Amino acid sequence: MGRSIAITYTVEMVTRNEAGQQFRHTPSEWRVRARYGNLPGHGKPTLENLTTYVTAFEVSTRANGCNAHLGVQKVLSARIIDQRVRSVVATYMRPADL
């Protein structure tokens, strides 16, 4: 049998592609520390680390990136949620001029 691990934090993002379509991405795990040896950790759930995560995601949607199949995406908003109490820990909102 496998091992069950409760997810402490999730990250949710809303993005817009070049055609102006808006997407809500399936929540994914926010890993504070590295797990299983090959999955990197994202650090504590802070605005600074969330901004770094958002920037890395946007870069990954460009040509030759691991998410290039999604098309170029701009993150409009993102938030980290503590799953234990369902409260928002950090929120990112794209500046209006970008």
Reported as a single tens digit per residue, the pLDDT across 29-46 is 998 887 766 777 889 999
Q: Which helix (H) or strand (E) holds 17?
A: strand 9-17
Residue 84 in contact with residue 9, Cβ under 8 Å? no
Which residue type, as a one-letter code, is found at position 32? V
33-79: per-residue pLDDT in tens? 877 667 778 899 999 999 999 999 999 999 999 999 989 999 999 99
Q: And the tokens for 77?
A: 């908003």
Determine how many CB atoms are found less than 10 A away from the CB of residue 37.
5
81-94: per-residue pLDDT in tens? 999 999 999 999 99
- CA distances for 72 relative to 6, 31, 37, 42, 67, angstroms: 32, 24, 29, 22, 9
